Chain A
Amino acid sequence: GAGVSQSPRYKVTKRGQDVALRCDPISGHVSLYWYRQALGQGPEFLTYFNYEAQQDKSGLPNDRFSAERPEGSISTLTIQRTEQRDSAMYRCASSPDRGGRDTEAFFGQGTRLTVV
């Protein structure tokens, strides 16, 4: 696609419900990243993938959070039994391999999650 696509753009859920956030990276991008961003703060790393392999999940806050990228393209970030403190903007980014011309992370518009 033309850019990184995230869905839904907005999600309101009741506390205790599970949510799944989707990220469709730029076609051919090797790496895919999940970040969480509070207002006025920098992106907080959650996890990232090279192809389908999850390289680092050290940023996931607890075991309610999980992510997958089964075919090395689309990724899903799942939050189980949501809590109010999970409310934030969740951002996905993708990047090509380091050897190419483009080296930066390309960001999606984000999913704003509100847990009520």
Chain B
Amino acid sequence: AQTVTQSQPEMSVQEAETVTLSCTYDTSESDYYLFWYKQPPSRQMILVIRQEAYKQQNATENRFSVNFQKAAKSFSLKISDSQLGDAAMYFCAYRSRGNQFYFGTGTSLTVIP
């Protein structure tokens, strides 16, 4: 089975600064999708960004970008110009060929004003 590892339980960043959250995964598949979800205190699960494994170009959504290293099975999230509203739990997720989703244990991000 695929596993998703987030090795940083907690991170903090100064407002307006940049922070990178790391994620690694283990798989034998070549075709899959990767995601970052944000979970604010409301406990909603909000999609932040997605990456298709066959695309070499790193995905970008406004202040959010990823560094996808397929050979290293690494998928980190970079948040630029951090804002107070970015404070949340962030989950990395992997979608397999069989449509299964695997989630990491999460990174709690604190934004310091």
A residues apposed to B, CB below 8 Å: 30-31, 33, 35, 40-43, 45, 48, 50, 55-56, 89, 91, 93, 95, 97-98, 103-105, 107, 109-110
Contacts and interface: CB of A to CB of B under 8 A. Distances in A.
Contacts of B35: 104-105
A18 B82 CA distance: 45
B113 interface: no
Contacts of B89: 40
Contacts of B104: 42
B105 A42 contact: yes
Contacts of A104: 33, 35, 47, 50, 95
B64 interface: no
Contacts of A105: 35, 45, 93, 95, 101
Nearest to A43: B103
Interface string B51-87: 0100000000000000000000000000000000000
A50 B43 CA distance: 26
A60 to B, nearest CB: 14
B105 to A, nearest CB: 5
B75 to A, nearest CB: 14
Nearest to A50: B99
Contacts of B50: 103-104
